Structure 1
Amino acid sequence: MKDQWKMWKALKGNETGLGWDPIKGTVVAPDEWWNKKIKRMIWDDDNDEVWQTTTYAIDIICSYYLSYIHKEPCMDSFHTGLVWLQEIMRGNERRCVNLFRMDKDILIKLCLDLERHYKLKCSKKMTILEKVDIFLYVLALGASNRQVQERFQHLGETVSGNFHEVLKAMLRLSIDMIKLTDPMFSNIPPEILNDDRYMSYFKDCIGAIDETHVSACVQEENLIRFIGRKWVPTQNIMAACSFDMQFTFYAINKQNLNFPKPPPGKYYVVDAGYQQMEGYLAPYRGTRYHLPDFQRGGRPRGLKEIFNRWHSSLRCCIERTFGVWKARWKILRTMPPYSFYVQRDIVVVFMALHNYIRRKALVDPAFERLDKSPNFIPPDIFRDADDIQVEESSQKREHFK
């Protein structure tokens, strides 16, 4: 562009009378001006500088004409994004769930809330519904910018700008979504109150805490910092959840680790990797703990195993929360090369959307499955390297028997 600007200055010289047409998006210059300029360059002294300038001028004119005047439209499909969305909203409920990970009623509520309370505005060419659906389409399916351009018939700059605009509105939403619904812990959670297994042991428990990993896309010089037991670069997330599988607090990549201290007498359940301290209840060490251990080895024996059995059953709500959360959004498994701050913000937005769907949806397929199967824990998408090696070794031993 710099070289072309120099050529244009050489062609224009000190002459005035040129302008810009904002409607056509072209330079305004009379035909006499162009004819005079080109004729003078061609018939001037026959030297290399004149001919070089003439060649540059013709090249500029041709490039400008093809780029700004005789442009062949790229997004010219009659089946625009808005037309396609109208078809989705009038069609079968499952189409909306498959594409945007929520039913039509929740999608409309989300759009209205973002517009009324979180400063998301429509534009001349795009409605609130289309903006939000583009954002959810990227998150749910892991779609690239070019795929979104083709599906919604918008330019890449429009798609990118819209994505970041909705992301900011979603971050405002997350402030209201990721928080305690009962900050004073005045009531016993119904999941404990209505279950005799937990009421005698855990009536003062207020939630569960654990860590998990989601995909990260980082530059090569920072790769070592983000590769751990998973063999791939990941973001390390520590979160707390309530027993109805809603996130109440989070910390990403060891930042913001100051969890709210539970009130006196209240506590979170944690696994054996955490220290036994006030406000955090860990299981007995050196004793059977995980649910599969009891499924394979029979009923618990002794008070410690009984305690660990119900502790594990209660704490698995955080693992179930992580499982349904990761399964819903494909981008958590293959994070695109956004800036790291955007990747971190996307994780926060996912937690907010998770809570939003849990609170607003009358029926959600993902949550419905977990509600019907209280012992089902979705598999982790990022398994530890040690676990994979043990499994591969056992498979090899079975193969050679």
Structure 2
Amino acid sequence: MECNENLSESADTANIKKTILAAICVINEYYETYICKTPCMTSSSRGDKWIGELLQGHPTRFHNMFRMSQTIFLDLLYELECVHHLHGSSRTTSREVLAMTLYILSHNESIRSTCERFQHSSETISRYFSIGLEALVKLSCSVIKPIDPQFGDIPRNILYDHRYMPYFKDCIGAIDGTHVDARVSNAEKAAYIGRCGSTTQNVMAVCDFNMCFTFIMAGWEGSAHDSRIFKFATRNSRHNFPMPPPGKYYVVDAGYPMQRGFLKPFPDTKYHIPDFERGSQLVRGRKETFNKRHSSLRGVIERSFGVWKKKWVILRDMPTYSFKKQIKIVIATMALHNYIRRHSSREDPDFNICDADGTYIPDEAYEYRIGQSVVETEGNDFIRQIRDGEGAEEMVQLREKITDALMDEMN
């Protein structure tokens, strides 16, 4: 009996020792993994130090990294900190937060490669990219809107251009849609595949003649037609669409309804500038004369889209973020586009190219665009079914009046 008790005690002691040993192993592994882990990000060129070096360096080097000048970066940082509460931490400065956000947006860098560049963990990069994005979305509320909501003055780009003055003196901007690469679940893909055959989000934008966006409607399925988005944006006052005052109007293409304040080209007639450039450049008749001038004026929004997509590479190959975050990326980059353009320094080579050549349109503007040629409405049942809105006859008369004036100019 005593022998059995001794054996039982020995077994219990052995089990206790095994349990203690296992616990020691677990504690040791936890300590080495989370408490005394080997440092990973050990480069001497840490994020904030690298940014400081770039701020003191050559302007081209800084622009290549962040798509803006040092002056604009510092002014943007100040506004985001003071007005939109951009913040960092004891180990991550707010200028690092802005820099890593711009770095991801402008180069479409992965979180992993951004970790290496800024010497922070993936969790830190992900968290602060979201914070930076939110600050830029807040900024959009103050910069994506008309400078003058009353549209009192004739735009300089019309006033001092004999091609448009006085014919289009009451035009206040242009409207169009563009497609941005999108990542959605397999269940949603069908709705987001448009005529281009890729999954995209359809973005409607309004721009002024300074190439600044004054209204955007992002997040629509790639299969959604432009006229549907237009109606949604303009018929609900809570969207704050900048409606044209009486006597003013936007230029739109054939995919939009003709209605008061929105002037479209003649249907079933050559329209896009490339159509006129192919073959003979001779313009035949009243309708082509109007359409060519209308298309040239509306080209400002193509240039705006082109500069925007050229600067922010992430738009052309969207990572697998949530779709809500993809929409924020569109809004944030459009806010950056406007902030850079409206900055008093006017320091930007991408915009400067467009200013130097009024016909230049970056190739990026045509990504995901289907080439609707010569007669944009011909053979397109959906466009034929677009119903004109209230005041359409008034705009038809305006189109005839402008066409008469253009023909008189030629005679």
Q: Common fold, TM-score beyond 0.5?
A: yes
Cα pair 1:230 1:382 within 8 Å, conserved: no
- Give the aligned CA root-mean-square deviation in angstroms: 2.0
**C-alpha distance in 2 between matches for 1:253 and 1:152:** 31
1:102 paired residue among 68, 72, 92: 68
Report how far residue 386 of structure 1 moved. Answer: 7.1
Residue by residue, what CA displacement relative to the aligned partner does 1:336-389 show, whole Å, maximum 9, x if unpaired?
A: 1111111101100111100000011422100000111111122235334678xx
SS in 2 for 1:198: coil
Q: 1:1-400 counterparts in 2 under 5 A?
A: 45-46=11-12, 50=16, 53-54=19-20, 56-254=22-220, 257-258=233-234, 259-296=241-278, 297-360=280-343, 361-379=345-363, 380=365, 382-384=367-369
Aligned residue pairs, count: 345
**C-alpha distance in 1 between matches for 2:199 and 2:303:** 23
Change (3 A) 1:227 1:374: same
Report how far residue 59 of structure 1 moved. Answer: 2.9
Cα pair 1:237 1:251 within 8 Å, conserved: yes
**C-alpha distance in 2 between matches for 1:234 and 1:216:** 4
Cα pair 2:101 2:129 within 8 Å, conserved: yes
Task: Give 5+ residue unaligned stretches, structure 2.
Answer: 1-8, 221-228, 235-240, 373-411
Report how far residue 302 of structure 1 moved. Answer: 2.2
**C-alpha distance in 2 between matches for 1:341 and 1:370:** 32
SS in 2 for 1:268: strand
Task: Give 5+ residue unaligned stretches, structure 1.
Answer: 1-42, 388-401
SS in 2 for 1:199: coil
**C-alpha distance in 1 between matches for 2:281 and 2:43:** 63
SS in 2 for 1:119: coil
**C-alpha distance in 2 between matches for 1:210 and 1:94:** 32
Structure whose CA Rg is larger:
1
2:405 aligns with none
Query: RCO greater where, 1 or 2, for CA within 8 Å and sep 6 or more?
Result: 2
**C-alpha distance in 1 between matches for 2:10 and 2:323:** 57
Residue by residue, what CA displacement relative to the aligned partner does 1:41-81 show, whole Å, maximum 9, x if unpaired?
A: xx853589656634531331221221234311111112211
Report how far residue 288 of structure 1 moved. Answer: 1.9
Partner AA of 2:291 in structure 1? N
Cα pair 2:307 2:350 within 8 Å, conserved: yes
Report how far residue 311 of structure 1 moved. Answer: 0.3
Q: Once structures 1 and 2 are overlaid, which stretch shifts more, 104-113 or 160-169?
A: 160-169
Change (3 A) 1:386 1:290: closer
Partner AA of 1:66 in structure 2? E
Please, what TM-score do these two structures have when normalized by structure 1?
Answer: 0.81
**C-alpha distance in 1 between matches for 2:112 and 2:43:** 15
Report how far residue 242 of structure 1 moved. Answer: 0.2
Change (3 A) 1:55 1:104: same
